[in-house]
Amino acid sequence: MSELALRRGVKSAASILLISAGIHAAAHYHYYLSDHADDAARNALKAVMQAHMVIPAWNASAWTVLCAFSLCIALLMGLCGTAFWWMGKDMPAARLRPLATASAGLCLISALLVLLLHPIPQPVVILGGAGVCFALGSIFGRSPVAS
């Protein structure tokens, strides 16, 4: 039963990352690529950011950089979610347990840092939720102590 709890925790965290990747990709399309999100404030911000060149040789404006980082976040969440899903499914429990523990710590510390430095709900919920799933899998997935 403990190995099952470990695998469920890792796969639950992977699910959070995969679902978040899909939601972020849809939001990225809506806010950066679609013309349906046009409004005066968005257009003014976009114009100012497009006027500021970050890498002039590549014609990369601040808007281009923001769009690229947004897309990278969606892709990286998808990549991490997929990797953790496969590891949760196939990796031996003895190797998965320390990975889940380390991932729990990293996600929970990252969620706390985001909360303190840049309090935006979405990354706090994503990192915190994945961290809790990793932690629960790691805690309840421990091998029973021999008596």
120 falls within a domain: yes
66 falls within a domain: yes
- Write the CB contacts of 80 (distance below 8 Å, at least 6 apart in sequence): 14, 17
Cα end-to-end distance, the chain, whole Å: 17
SS3 (DSSP) at 118: coil
Here the tokens at position 6 are: 């470990």
To which H or E segment does residue 61 belong? strand 60-61
44 falls within a domain: yes
Beta carbons within 10 angstroms of residue 58's beta carbon: 9
Here the tokens at position 89 are: 């499914």
Here the tokens at position 117 are: 């430095």
Digit-coded pLDDT (tens) for 4-55: 999 999 999 999 999 999 999 999 998 888 877 678 888 898 899 999 999 9
- Note down the domain range covering 127: 2-140
Residue entry with tokens 């953790």 = 84
Measured over the CA atoms of residue 85, residue 89, residue 91 and residue 97, the dihedral's sign is: positive
Q: What is the pTM of this model?
A: 0.87
17 falls within a domain: yes
Q: Number of folded domains in the chain?
A: 1
pLDDT of residue 147: 37
pLDDT of residue 143: 62
70 falls within a domain: yes
Q: CA-CA distance, 77 to 13, in Å (whole number)?
A: 11
Digit-coded pLDDT (tens) for 62-73: 999 999 999 999
146 falls within a domain: no
Here the tokens at position 134 are: 């990793």
Here the tokens at position 108 are: 């929970």
145 falls within a domain: no
147 falls within a domain: no
pLDDT of residue 125: 96
pLDDT of residue 144: 58
